[in-house]
A = this chain, B = another copy of it.
Amino acid sequence: MSNRKRQLSRCICTGTSLDRMLRPAILTVLRDCRRGLHGYGIEQRLEEFQFCRRSSPDFTGLYRLLKKMEAEGLLRSAKNPSDTGPAKRIYSMTVRGKQCLTRWRISLLNYRDMLDDLLDRMKSNEFEEGQ
């Protein structure tokens, strides 16, 4: 009902809706790890990425995305038979996944241009911001 009470600290302007980097980041991690990795390992690598610094990537979403990307033909997976312990599913990239990563880079470069354009427009009228 009354959303008016919502504080700025919980507002979307804090950037909570922005992260859209998981797909290209997964592809990057797997490109740099030829032997493949299971979900848990991918998650650990992702923690080094700056966009994961404010909070670890959500593992539920990550595992689900891995399955989806496999269904899309970007990844392949195999059960790891030699391991003891719970079944791990080892993911690695397909050729199509590599093409996809290349395309992602172009898209993200374009995206950065759009972002710069917006940031430029946002600051252009700052003189009226007094207290």
A6-41 interface code vs B (CB 8 A; 1 in, 0 out): 101001111101111101110010011011000000
Q: How far is the CA of A124 from the CA of B28 in the complex (A)?
A: 9
**CB contact list, A63-95 vs B, under 8 A:** 71-73
Please name all residues of chain B whose beta carbon is closer than 8 Å to the beta carbon of A103 when the two chains form the complex.
Answer: 8, 11, 13-14
Q: Which residue of the partner chain B has the closest CB to A12?
A: B23
Q: Is the interface of A mostly helix, strand, loop or mixed?
A: helix
Q: Which residue of the partner chain B has the closest CB to A15?
A: B107
Q: Are B72 and A107 in contact (CB under 8 A)?
A: no
Please name all residues of chain B whose beta carbon is closer than 8 Å to the beta carbon of A50 when the two chains form the complex.
Answer: 113-114, 117-118
Please name all residues of chain B whose beta carbon is closer than 8 Å to the beta carbon of A123 when the two chains form the complex.
Answer: 105
Chain A residues in the interface with B (C-beta under 8 A):
3-6, 8, 11-15, 17-21, 23-25, 28, 31-32, 34-35, 49-51, 71-73, 96, 98-105, 107-119, 121-125, 128-129, 131
